[in-house]
Amino acid sequence: MTKTSKAQDAVGAATTPPRTSKSTRNRRPAEEKFAELKRRLHDIDDLTAAGAALGWDQATYMPIGGAGARGRQRAALSRLAHEKSVDSTLGKLLDELEPYAATLPHDSNEASLIRVARRDFERAIKVPSDHVARASVFGAESYEAWKQARPANDFATMLPFLQRGIDLGREYADFFAPYHHIADPLIEDADEGMTAASVRRLFAALRTELVPIVHALTEQSNADDRCLRSSFGETAQLAFGLSVIRRIGYDFERGRLDKTVHPFCTRLSAGDVRITTRVFENDLTQALFSSLHEAGHALYEQSVDPVLEGTPLGRGASVGVHESQSRLWENVVGRSREFWEYFYPLLQRTFPGQFDRVRLETFYRAINKVERSLIRTEADEVTYNLHIMLRFELELKMLEDALRAKDLPEAWRAGMDSYVRVVPPDDRDGCLQDVHWFSGIMGGSAQFYAAAMKAHPNIPKEIAAGEFEPLHSWLRENLYRHGRKFKPSELVRRVTGEQMNTGPYLSYLRAKYADRIRA
Q: Which residues bind Zn ion (CB under 5 A)?
A: 326
Q: Residue 294 catalytic?
A: yes
Closest approach, Cβ 268 to Zn ion, in A, equals: 18
Closest approach, Cβ 440 to Zn ion, in A, equals: 17
Judged by phi (left if over 0) then psi (alpha if -120 to 50, else beta), residue 346 lies in alpha
Whether 469 contacts 299, CB under 8 Å: no
Nearer to Zn ion, 42 or 259 (CB): 259
Closest approach, Cβ 189 to Zn ion, in A, equals: 17
Exposed/middle/buried for residue 511 (C-beta within 10 Å: 0-12, 13-18, 19+): exposed
Closest approach, Cβ 215 to Zn ion, in A, equals: 27
| Position closest to Zn ion via CB | 326
Closest approach, Cβ 326 to Zn ion, in A, equals: 4
**What is the C-alpha to C-alpha distance for residues 429 and 426, in angstroms, rounded to an integer?**
6
Nearer to Zn ion, 326 or 445 (CB): 326
Secondary structure string (H, E, C) spanning 295-340: HHHHHHHHCCCHHHCCCCCCCCCCHHHHHHHHHHHHHHHCCCHHHH
Closest approach, Cβ 330 to Zn ion, in A, equals: 8
**What is the C-alpha to C-alpha distance for residues 301 and 310, in angstroms, rounded to an integer?**
13
Nearer to Zn ion, 318 or 326 (CB): 326
Nearer to Zn ion, 129 or 433 (CB): 433
Whether 217 contacts 265, CB under 8 Å: no
Exposed/middle/buried for residue 255 (C-beta within 10 Å: 0-12, 13-18, 19+): buried
**What is the C-alpha to C-alpha distance for residues 356 and 514, in angstroms, rounded to an integer?**
28
Secondary structure string (H, E, C) spanning 429-488: CCCCCCHHHHCCCCCHHHHCCHHHHHCCCCCCHHHHHCCCHHHHHHHHHHCHHHCCCCCH
Around Cβ 118, how many Cβ atoms within 10 Å? 17
Closest approach, Cβ 296 to Zn ion, in A, equals: 8
Nearer to Zn ion, 310 or 444 (CB): 444
Closest approach, Cβ 319 to Zn ion, in A, equals: 9
**What is the C-alpha to C-alpha distance for residues 102 and 92, in angstroms, rounded to an integer?**
16
Whether 447 contacts 199, CB under 8 Å: yes
475-479 long-range contacts, Cβ below 8 Å, gap at least 24? 475/299, 475/300, 475/303, 475/325, 475/328, 476/303, 479/300, 479/321, 479/325
- Give the Å distances, CA to CA, from 376 to 204, 232, 347, 448: 19, 22, 25, 12
Closest approach, Cβ 196 to Zn ion, in A, equals: 21
One-letter amino acid identity for 377? T
For residue 269, list its beta bridge partners: 272
What residues have CB less than 8 Å from 368, skipping those under 6 apart?
A: 223, 335, 380, 381, 512, 513
Three-state DSSP class for residue 7: helix
Nearer to Zn ion, 86 or 273 (CB): 273
Q: Of these residues, 294, 330, 381, 393, which one is catalytic?
A: 294
**What is the C-alpha to C-alpha distance for residues 347 and 359, in angstroms, rounded to an integer?**
12
Nearer to Zn ion, 48 or 326 (CB): 326
One-letter amino acid identity for 416? M
User: Which residues are the active-site residues?
Assistant: 294
